[in-house]
């Protein structure tokens, strides 16, 4: 079951990376910048990102998938011992929620990483932090809104489900090269 979920996630992450790369290129083109260079929006790229430590979640994707695999096995064994249909369904619901949360967080990670890598490959040197402008934005994100960062010194998103993003900045009429 976990193997199928991982395979399904990977297919979806590839689509997410392809879309994020396309949107990043559109952002660059809106600034009048050429976008000849692209990242490899494929399974190898997704695997590379998933192997990196995620500072927002605080774990590695595959290690967390293994932990969830063990949690599911434990839940199924425990629920079977209790022999309660409701307990069984409750354990499956908990697992599904955990898996959904991880999948969603890493989808967001894929978007952020693909955009950043596309900007870097196209010579962007600085980016602007952009926050949503509503009552759900945390204080830290409000403080970062509109701030400019060197592309290699962008702060980590301060929390899970952060809705902030980065935008490329045009420098001196070119990509900053």
Assess whether pLDDT exceeds 80 at residue 132: yes
Give per-residue pLDDT as tens, 138-177. 999 999 999 999 999 999 999 888 999 999 998 754 444 4
pLDDT of residue 118: 93
pLDDT of residue 144: 96
Alpha-carbon distance 118 to 6, whole Å?
A: 25
pLDDT of residue 102: 86
- The total number of residues shown for the chain amounts to 177
Mean pLDDT of 119-137: 94
**pTM, 2 dp:** 0.82
38 versus 133: which is more confidently predicted? 133
Report how far apart the first and last C-alpha atoms of the chain are (Å, whole number).
Answer: 48
Domain-by-domain residue ranges, the chain? 2-168
CA angle 99, 166, 56 (to 5 degrees): 35
Give per-residue pLDDT as tens, 36-84. 667 877 889 999 999 988 888 778 888 888 888 787 777 777 766 766 7
Q: Using the CB atoms, write b or e for 44-83: b if 16+ within 10 Å.
A: ebbeebbeeebebbeeebeebbeebbeebeebeeebeeee
User: What backbone torsions phi and psi does residue 158 show, to the nearest 5 degrees?
Assistant: -75, -10
According to DSSP, residue 149 is labeled E
Contact 146, 130 (CB under 8 A): yes
Alpha-carbon distance 66 to 162, whole Å?
A: 25
């Amino acid at each position: 079951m976990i193997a199928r979920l991982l395979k399904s996630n990977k297919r979806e992450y590839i689509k997410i990376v392809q879309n994020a790369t396309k949107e990043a290129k559109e952002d660059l083109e809106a600034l009048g910048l050429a976008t000849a260079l692209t990242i490899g929006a494929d399974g190898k790229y997704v695997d590379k990102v998933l192997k990196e430590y995620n500072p927002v979640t605080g774990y590695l994707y595959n290690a967390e998938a293994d932990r969830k695999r063990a949690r599911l096995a434990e839940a199924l064994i425990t629920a079977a011992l209790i022999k309660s249909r409701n307990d069984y369904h409750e354990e499956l619901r908990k697992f599904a929620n955990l898996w959904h949360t991880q999948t969603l967080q890493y989808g967001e990670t894929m978007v952020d990483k693909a955009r950043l890598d596309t900007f870097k490959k196209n010579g962007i040197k600085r980016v602007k932090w952009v926050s949503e402008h509503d009552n759900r934005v945390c204080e830290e994100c409000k403080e970062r809104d509109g701030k400019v960062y060197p592309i290699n010194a962008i702060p980590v998103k301060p929390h899970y489900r952060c809705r902030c993003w980065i935008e490329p900045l045009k420098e001196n009429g070119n990509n900053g090269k």
